[in-house]
Each structure stands twice: as structure tokens, then as C-alpha cells.
A and B are shown apart, each in its own frame.
Chain A
Amino acid sequence: MTQLPGLLDTEAIRKDFPALDRVLHDGKKLVYLDNAATSQKPRQVLDALTEYYERHNANVHRGVHVLAEEATALYEGARDKVAEFINAPSRDEVIFTKNASESLNLVANMLGWADEPYKVDHETEIVITEMEHHSNIVPWQLLSQRTGAKLKWFGLTDDGRLDLSNIDEVITEKTKIVSFVLVSNILGTHNPVEAIVRRAQEVGALVLIDASQAAPHMPLDVQALQADFVAFTGHKMCGPTGIGVLWGRQELLEDLPPFLGGGEMIETVSMSSSTYAPAPHKFEAGTPPIAQAVGLGAAVDYLQSIGMEKVQAHEHAITSYAVKRLLEVPDLKIIGPVTAEDRGAAISFTLGDIHPHDVGQVLDEQGIAVRVGHHCARPVCLRYGIPATTRASFYLYSTPAEVDALVEGLEHVRNFFG
């Protein structure tokens, strides 16, 4: 078996993930390489969900009975855990949403309804990049169409990195918000935050970072990033679906208007007007995803018990090995950086002119789960002139043997369609 420096004890870790034991298609062991889409869930998270529903289920912030108080303590306790996980200066800066898309849309809508100095209008500009997930493109297109603000973006270099050569022309005095992805879900590229944040700060623009593919895989320190907002989702980091996070700087959350109105987000309500609860509740209208937040708290505990630096080192080792092995496959072309430097554990590729759908289907027949398509990042496919890619993405439980299985599987695909 291949030994690589920095690997975690995957034999022990994999015992925590029941789904990884699945056997498919008459005896093929599941090789789960679709972690950028969603991660599998450890027993600890599944138990936390079950225990919440079996023992503590109640609505939060409303009752005086025992269960209501327990549910509230668990929900708010999850907020504490997430705040610590991302090194937030205050727990009140952590807003629970349903996913990263909602977090990104929430910021776009806060700004859409904001007064000066945050107001986005026809005299201002919004900046994104060509490697964004659709969830960090469409909300800004909507805001641009509704306000008349100009939407601009950074292009990509041929080797899958952001082209920042024209940064001073892209981010200008007119820029109100710069929103970009920390680690690309399709290219795997880890973007240089500092250069972008520095330029944004020079012109007084706000910065929103989409950390959906970063939070699960590396230490995330929102203070070190120096952004104004950071968005991510729970289900890619061992948590349940239906829970996302938006972190925002406290003074911004105080100044900016709410988006969704309803229960929980108010202070007082009369028939003609209302006043709002302080953040984070101001941005959490209605009954929140309570069990899902509790599950995310358990996921954070799980990841912390292993250590995010170790998770990062493990994935770096796996990614280095995977890049090397994949490049040995004839006709395989990696779309994105071809080294493991400044790169996450999602690797997209094309295999000759065999369509990714066919690659994915034949891999599935061997028990290997990958993602095929444009990965909700169609502009990237257009940029590189390809209809789609096959993407293998790794996590803390991925092993060198699984990389080998993928490479073997791809050989089989080539023979099949060759």
C-alpha cells in the first residue's frame, strides 16, 4: 500500500462513516470521490441528530419549558462552536442560513436594500470572478439588473488561476462589493486573498468570500482573511444538509437592513411598523434549521477533534498523489492547476473526447462515485472550451488506494470507449 507523509489514520476515521461501507453493483466497494458535492456524515453527527429529535426537540427562543430551553441551548451552542471554528471575534457575527447559496444571496439582498454608504446603484460596480459557482454569480446578476450597477469580473489564466493583472481596472473607486471564491469547486484553485482584499480596502469596497470548498478542508480564520463576510455550507464538512453559515463583521450586521421578515427577527411589532432584533437574529426569520445546526455543531466538534491542520495536510498529500497518478493516464487533461500547490482537493479533468457522462457512468459501474458536468460553474467550461468535466474530490477519509482505484477505473473507461 502507498505510504505518503502527512496522511491521517484513515482506517480509524473510515469506521466513523457508515456510508463508506456500502457495497454496490454486486460486490464493488464504494469509492466515494464526490466530496466537493457533499461529504459523508460521521456517526457522531448522525447520533447528535437522532438524540436531538429523540430527547430535546422543541422550538427555540420561545418556550419556558425544559425542552424549549434545551433546544435553545443546543442551537445557540452550535453557534458558539462555529464561531470558535472560524475564529470569529463574536458569536453574534455567525448567522445560520440554509446553505452557502442563501448566505451569498443574503449579502446581495442586504446591499440591495441598504442606504449609503453601502447602497448599490447605477453609479456603482460589483466585482466577481469567472471561476465562481453559479451561487456567487446569479445573485449579483440579479442585484445588477435590479439596481443598474455594473457587474465586472476577473478572468482566468490558462493554468486555472485568477488573472489579477488588471486588478486596478477591475476594482475601482466605484466598486461596492468584491465577492470571490476562496477555493474553486471546479478548478480546485486556492485564490490569493490578500491581494484582492488589499485592493478592495484601498477603494473602500466590501469583501465577501465564498469559503464553501475551504471551510471543510483547512483552518479557516475569518479575522486573518480580513474579509467583511464569509459564507459556507454545513453539508460539505460532515454536517447535515439544510444548514449554512454567513459570518459578517458586527458593525455591518448592525447597519445593514434585514432581508427576510418574520418571527424571531423582531424586537417589537405593531400593525404599522416593527423594530428588529440585534444580529444574528435579525437575519434569521422564522423557525431556524435547529436539528441541522446541532448536527453542524457536532460536525465541527468532529473535525476539531482531528484538527483542521491535519485534515489539510492529509488532503494535500492525497491531492499531490492524485495529480501525479492522473497525469499518467493517457489523454487525460487536468482542468485547473497541475500541481498540488495552492490547490484544494477537487480535481477536474477531461479524458480524450470521451464525454464526462460516459466516464462517470462507467466509473459508477465499478463503484467509483465522481461528479460529471459543469459543476455549477459553466463559465469555467466556456472559458476552457469544454462542455463538461469529470471531477474527483477527496476528503479526510480518502486513501491512496482510492486514487489507485480511480486510475484503474479510468483505464477501464478508455478501453471501453477506445
Chain B
Amino acid sequence: MSDVHAQTVSYVRETMLPEAEPPVTERGAIKWLRENLFSSWLNAILTILSLFVIYYVLSHTLGWMLYGIWDAGSLTECRQIRNELYGEDASVACWAVLADRWDQLLFGFYPQDLYWRPVAALLVFFVAVSPILFEGVPRKLFYLTAAAPFICFWLIWGGTIWGPIVVALGFVIAGAIFRYGAEMVGPLLAIIGAFLVPILYWLLLAGPLTGMLNSIAPIGMQYVSSDEIGGFMLAFIIGITGIILSFPLGILLALGRQSDLFIINKTCVTFIEVIRGVPLIVWLFTASLLLNYFLPPGTNFDLLLRVIIMVTFFASAYMAEVIRGGLAALPRGQYEGADSLGLNYWQSMQLIILPQALKISIPGIVNTFIGLFKDTTLVVFVGLSDPIGFSNLIRATTDWNGIYWELFIFIGLCFFICCFSMSKYSQFLERKLRTEHR
């Protein structure tokens, strides 16, 4: 039989062939190009179009940027240097304006030898929010989170250390009354007391107490007034305080919007819709032009504070919507479970609902913060010196009058870096939450 076989089958391979290279069009760069760039006529056209767009943009900007002049004292000098180096017709950037004024764009009029203070405040802020944002961080840091607002306030504005401490004491008093008062005078009186006592304390006692403590032990730093704060520092301060202050307000509004109590529900809905229906710039003008009408005659406090108050209201409406989304995303069983344990409304909110709802809301809160941070540029319209405001101020000097793109590019880049990293973080968080929930 083997003969037959040998005759009919002329050749039998007994060893494996070595793997052959795929054809030229199916491997390496060419395959990648074929699959990713030229898979169809439409794709080929799109690819060529995109390449053209990239070439066009880069050919017009790259040289301008790379040949930019970094070392000059004014725009006129810049032009002279350019004329010497590249001739009159060349178009090159004059980055010297950034070398000259970067500190103002970042810190405003903040005293130069005190720049470490806002930087330290920012670091404190990051450490303080880290237990909220990342899970691997020791929980003890929450104590720092509670103290951080006072530390940051003191670092940025300076002045006596007793001011923030005395104000913080008010919260400690409130907490103590809330915690221990319930047993002594009953829960209702404790809640009312926890609200009223600190307010009375702040209004009547805090001022004299600060003065007294300061005269006993004058510990403090150089006071820096609000109008020396500007540039990106201003944007950060408005954005961060706005978002932090709007957080408790947003929670209350979100709960109010879910509440069955007619008046409270309608008030919250009206507040949220009115705030969200009107552009921020109108609210900022309200802060700058009208807030003085609404306050008792004679009161007057600085524009930065007024803007922060308005921004807080503005952000709280958006925050309320984000948190409402978080509340709505919780399964119904959580509410029912809390009820079946016999917890009352506040207990169930505090122990069951909010911790979960807030956790899912964090990406939304980060996104709200990005939006708010970008919107801080609008304060230029009410005369605060944010980065764009400072670009106007810099151009109003004889040295730099007429400079344009360089400042915008720098400001845009700074915003991009901040917002992009935050949005990447929030996307990471969203992915993590999604996998956790499945």
C-alpha cells in the first residue's frame, strides 16, 4: 500500500515550514497605514485633509513660536532684536513679555517675597482634598481637611493667626452643642442652639476675643489685602472657595428639591432654576453693581468677597443638580432600607444616603469645578485682575502696548494644563466607579 501511496502522492512534507513574512502590504508601517489611514476612499480623503490642516497650522505658527525672542525689556526692544536677527518682515513671537511679567500673571500684585504663601496654601489644599479624591490616603488626614480652609485663609491673607482660630472655634462650639447638647436639653433645642450660639458668638464675641488674644500673643504674618491678589491665583481662589462653599449649600438645595414639603421644594426649585437660567456674567454684574443695594445701608465689603459670594450661589445651583443626580442614581432599596432600620430623615441621609450619593457625584463635582474655574475669567468684566485682566494691564504699559498673542497663548496653556488634568482625573474616577458598581 505504501507503494501506491508513494506513487499517488509525489511529495510529503515532513517538517513545518518556517513562518513566512506576511506580504508587504500586510505588515509593519504599511499595514498600519493601510488599516488606520487609507482603509477606504473616504478615509484616504480625510487623512489627506487632516494632514493638510496640521501642516497649515504648524507652518504658520511653529516658526513664529520657536524663533521667539525671550530676552528683551519691551516690545520695541523685541522688534529691534528681531530686525537684527531675522530682518524686518519676519514674524516672530516676543516671549520676553512672559519672562518679564510671568509673576504678575500668576500671582497678581502679591508681594514678591511672600510668593511661598499662596504656593503653600495650594499644597495644603491638595493634601486636604487627597483623602476625598484618592482612596489610599490615610483617613487621619480628614482632620487636616477640616482645618485646611482656616490654614489656607491665613496663609493667603495673613494677618493675625487668632482671627481664623477664633472663627474656627465657633464651629467647634456648634459641633459640641450638637453632639452633647442633645442629651442635656433635648435634640430640638440642641439643633437650634448649634445654629444660634455660634452666630451670636461670631457677631458679639469673636471680634473682641481676637483683639484680646492678639494683644496677649501677637502671632501673625504680614497682612495682604484682597486687591493685591490677581492673576491665576485669583482664578484659583475664586474657583476653589466657590466650589467648597457651594458644597454644603448644594447638598441642602438638592435635598430640598427632593423633599415632599411643598414650600421648601418650590423655593429650592425656583432658586436653582433662576440661578441656572441667567448667565454668570449677569450675576457678576449683580455682585459688582447691585449687591450694595440689597445689603443694609452703609455696609460695604470688598469686591473679591462679593464676587465669591455670587459665584458660590451660582455654583451651588449647579452643584445641587449634580448631587441630585447622585441621589437619584442610588437604588430605591437604600432609602427603604434606611427607613426600615427606623432611622429618621437626617440620620438616614447622614449615615446611608449622602455618603453613597456624594461618592458617585465626585466626577460631576470635578466637572462643575472645571466649568467654574474656566468661568472665573469673566471677572475681568467687573474689574478684577484675573489673568485676562492682567493681560490688559500689561498691555496698558508703554513697554508692552501692542503685544497680543503671546499673553493669550500663555494664559490658554495654563488653563489647558489645569483643566485637562482635572478632566482626566474625573474620567479616571468615572471608569473606576463604573467598574465598582458592576
- On whether the two chains bind one another, the answer is no
